[in-house]
Amino acid sequence: MVIIKETPYKMAGRMYHIEDSLISVGGHNSEKVIFGEKFQIIGGPCTIENRKQMLETAKSVKASGATVLRGGAFKPRTSPYSFQGLGEEGLKYLSEAKALTGLPTVSEIMDSSQLAMFEDVDILQVGSKNMQNFSLLKALAKSNKPILLKHSFGCTLEEFLLSAEYILANGNPNVILCERGIRTFETATRFSLDLSLIPLIRELSHLPIIVDPSHSSGISSLVKPVSKAATVIGAQGLMIEVHDNPCEALCDGPQAVSYKDFENIVKSCEELLPFAHQTKNPFLGN
């Protein structure tokens, strides 16, 4: 058990907020889901490529048990020459997919000037590269929409929780954390995912924590075993990239799983839920 001590993140830590936070998502033009209450599975394409792909993928992941739909419209690509996403046009297809399936949606926002375009998006994703973009965090805190905050691949856990603190301290309590691996000397996988952070985060923070096995491994065959391990170690959800034809994906194809594989992964993880580790809450002494 973690020794109870003062942490620099007062609002994200458990000391002054002992019970788990429940983050309610959607419910207006979509189904309502609650992170922290039930295991949530976010599925969908890395990047929205066209209307047909978005709608078909949405129907497929919904049928397989996804509870939230993802689709990137503004992509933070390493190279300026890579496909940058469809932007506002992509968000329109995401809205259509939401109307079609009833699934609440998540998409990455890169700049607060984009907020108006994200009106129909249920969860605003802050990507790994923007975790310490403090002016973005402060601006999104004012929006009052749930924020999916991804761990920067170059930051410590304390820095991650301090970024969550920025959002909470500026007025938005609806933060969902996402582990997606950090950069180490290992190059065999895309990033290095320290799964022991999951039970540690659950001891230190009341915020829900999910795992992204797609970006952390970068290899589609690893998505299933990593998803299973994350489920058993106590993650409160997963975010998985799905593509109808991974070989042809415009972004992150090597880590995308097919519709069939996604269905199989969801089933395996659901079967494991009764065996998931229950982290003791150090502040309740349970």
Nearer to Mn ion, 12 or 46 (CB): 46
x-marked contacts with Mn ion along 101-140 as a string, rule CB under 5 A: ----------------------------------------
Based on its alpha-carbon atoms, the radius of gyration of the chain, rounded to whole angstroms, reads 17
Nearer to ligand PEP, 129 or 280 (CB): 129
- The residue whose Cβ lies closest to Mn ion is 46
List, in order, residues 6 or more apart from 153 with CB less than 8 Å away: 128, 180, 181, 182, 183, 191
- The two tokens of residue 260 are 């069939």
Q: Find the binder of ligand PEP among 98, 145, 180, 190 (CB under 6 A).
A: 180
Q: How far is Cα 97 from Cα 54, in angstroms, rounded to an integer?
A: 7
Q: Find the binder of ligand PEP among 43, 85, 127, 208 (CB under 6 A).
A: 127
- The residue whose Cβ lies closest to ligand PEP is 127
Residue 128's binding partner out of Mn ion, ligand PEP, none, with CB under 5 to 8 Å set by partner kind: ligand PEP
Taking CA atoms, 75 is separated from 48, 79, 80, 134, in Å, by 10, 11, 10, 19
What is the chain's percent helix, strand, coil content, to nearest 5?
A: 40, 15, 45
243 binds ligand PEP (CB under 6 A): no
Taking CA atoms, 182 is separated from 5, 187, 192, in Å, by 26, 11, 5
Nearer to Mn ion, 106 or 161 (CB): 106
128 binds ligand PEP (CB under 6 A): yes
* Count, residues in the chain: 286
| Selected range binding Mn ion among 23-31, 46-54, 190-198, 264-272, rule: CB under 5 A | 46-54
252 binds Mn ion (CB under 5 A): yes
In angstroms, the first-to-last Cα distance of the chain is: 11
Nearer to ligand PEP, 9 or 191 (CB): 191
Instruction: Give residue 268's identity as a one-letter amino acid code.
Output: S
Residue 261's binding partner out of Mn ion, ligand PEP, none, with CB under 5 to 8 Å set by partner kind: none
Q: Where do contacts with ligand PEP occur on this chain (CB under 6 A)? A: 46, 72, 76, 108, 127-129, 150, 180, 212, 215
